[in-house]
Structure 1
Amino acid sequence: MKIIFSPSKEMTFDNPIEEKVEFNDKIKIIIEELKKLKPIEIKEIYKISDKVLEEVLNYINNFDKIESYRAIEMYTGIAFRSFDVASLKEDERKYMDDHLKILSAFYGPLCPEELVRPYRLDFNTKLKIDGKTLKNFWKEEYNNSFDEGEVILNLASNEFSSLLDRKKFTIYDFEFFEKKNGKLKSHSTISKKARGKMLNYICKNKITNLEEIKKFDMDGFKYENKMSEERKFVFVK
């Protein structure tokens, strides 16, 4: 069983690793393609402000000089803050290392402890490599990163999880809702926080039995049997 999780644009650089990292050819191809682009082209395909452009150019131009970080410690978006990897005990972190994949448009599927460097790139970026979109560039490798028929718990956004061939794997989706004034609401902040809490719950309980997932009750969420489906877990707060 594997768990898939989205990366985040928010990052922290508090724990650099002084260790030489050799990246695979696909990553080298992406960085070389980005280095060919003029700043105005970067701004256009990324659809970013001048301030963010400066940050992106720094990542690109200094990629070989920037220090490396463990993936699980570098990302600090809402979902990662809710996950709180620092709260895991040694055996729980070992479970995380064995089961979690963080999906990236720059690095491909990442193991949590894998060393990475800061970057900014997602599948909405209009970068073409040999005429391929980033999704087509990574699709084969994404699908080859998991065993055929493997159970995958999808705690990633559709942007990343959509690369996986649902005919090849047994994928379980998650939906999180908040009930207010008798109405169910769902938005990105609720979903991101809940995905992080669910990942925390799965790792702390070292889940191997899918029925145990239904017992998740953090932050007031409860499993909603009537709304759930065979391969979809729905929780309501």
Structure 2
Amino acid sequence: MTILSNINRLLMLMLIAESKTMTPCDGMINECDYMSHRPALESDAAEIMSNLRSLSVESLCGSVKLSLPMVRKLQQMIYEFPNKASGSKAMNAFMGVVFKAFSYQTLGEASRVRTNGRVRIISSLYGWLKPDDIIKSYRFDFTTPLAPDGKTFSSYWRDSVTKLLLKEIEKQDCHDVLNLLPGDAARCIDWKVINSRVKVWKADFKEVHPGAVMRTPNAGRLKTLRGRLLRQIINEDIMSPEQLVSIIGDGYIGPDSIDVSGNILFHSIADN
């Protein structure tokens, strides 16, 4: 492929969700770095955290699905949020199964650049994140009703995240979006609006069991496969859904073909 044709290739934007498990995000950050890597909706996140400062541990316990010790940690995170002298880049901050399987820290420089350009993270607190945005630690989920007016985070972010996704699609001239989101994170986006602008694809995984029985992998396995697929797409510079046909990955194989339904079915051999 010539250099010119590479320039004219259209990007496939990929969406993943935050993980509940995070690092402390306590690395030292200078003001210049923070301002150049500030999340797009950080001011909204700051307002949310500011509103929560008045809540007692008991009040927080009534709204979040966390143990009492974890709620106390969450309260500390709320009070620490305004301190922008410490933090972490988003892709290094999340430590869940998808992120471990993706293993951003072990990617080469070119793959890291591609990640920053093509991957976006949907967040319960921040709404929309680039991989190199600098963030603070938090512990919410998308169904938590602690957004303004008692809304859940998925409901609160729907308009803003949809607009930012549309803006990214226009900026990068994308024709395809690969949805690697779980259901609760996907509710942060108005898919009817997005589908009117681009083709949305969803990666689906099925395990092959003895007797040719097909089953959906358990939650942990499904997250691992999503992370591995994302890593392969980035490392191999895969730019379109058509390039996923018949690919062989770490624990899965791609479909023989893709159709207009938007679902791309990958087969995985079940663990014994």
* TM-score past 0.5 threshold: yes
Q: How many residues align?
A: 237
Indicate the residue corresponding to 2:186 in structure 1.
161
Give the whole-Å Cα distance in 1 for the aligned partners of 2:136 and 2:97.
Answer: 20
Indicate the residue corresponding to 2:9 in structure 1.
none
Indicate the residue corresponding to 1:52 in structure 2.
70
- Code of the residue aligned with 1:159 in structure 2: it is D
Indicate the residue corresponding to 1:200 in structure 2.
231
- Code of the residue aligned with 2:53 in structure 1: it is K
Q: CA RMSD in A?
A: 2.2
Cα distance per residue 1:56-100 (max 9 Å; x no partner) = 111112222372100001111111010011232211111111111
Q: 1:180 to 1:144 in 2, by over 3 A?
A: same
The answer to whether the Cα contact below 8 Å between 1:6 and 1:156 also exists between their aligned partners in 2 is yes
Q: 1:15 to 1:185 in 2, by over 3 A?
A: farther
The answer to whether the Cα contact below 8 Å between 2:25 and 2:87 also exists between their aligned partners in 1 is no
Q: 1:228 to 1:197 in 2, by over 3 A?
A: farther
TM-score, scaled to structure 1? 0.91
Cα distance per residue 1:89-116 (max 9 Å; x no partner) = 2111111111110100101110000000
Indicate the residue corresponding to 1:8 in structure 2.
19
Q: 1:65 to 1:128 in 2, by over 3 A?
A: closer
Q: Where do residues 32-181 of structure 1 align in structure 2 (5 Å cutoff)?
A: 32-65=50-83, 67-147=86-166, 150=174, 151-169=176-194, 170-181=199-210
Deviation at residue 14 of structure 1 after TM alignment: 7.6
Deviation at residue 180 of structure 1 after TM alignment: 2.2
Cα distance per residue 1:187-221 (max 9 Å; x no partner) = 21121001100110110011212211224322331
Q: Which moved more, 1:123-132 or 1:91-100?
A: 123-132
| Unpaired stretches in structure 2, ≥5 consecutive residues | 1-11
Percent identity over paired residues:
23
Give the whole-Å Cα distance in 1 for the aligned partners of 2:134 and 2:60.
Answer: 25
Deviation at residue 225 of structure 1 after TM alignment: 4.5
Q: Which moved more, 1:206-215 or 1:108-117?
A: 206-215
Give the whole-Å Cα distance in 1 for the aligned partners of 2:29 and 2:22.
Answer: 18
Q: 1:210 to 1:184 in 2, by over 3 A?
A: same
Give the whole-Å Cα distance in 1 for the aligned partners of 2:92 and 2:116.
Answer: 13
SS of 1:146's equivalent in the other structure is: helix
- Code of the residue aligned with 1:172 in structure 2: it is W
SS of 1:219's equivalent in the other structure is: coil
SS of 2:125's equivalent in the other structure is: coil
Q: Which moved more, 1:108-117 or 1:59-68?
A: 59-68
Deviation at residue 17 of structure 1 after TM alignment: 3.8
The answer to whether the Cα contact below 8 Å between 1:15 and 1:69 also exists between their aligned partners in 2 is yes
1:185 partnered with 2:215: yes
TM-score, scaled to structure 2? 0.80
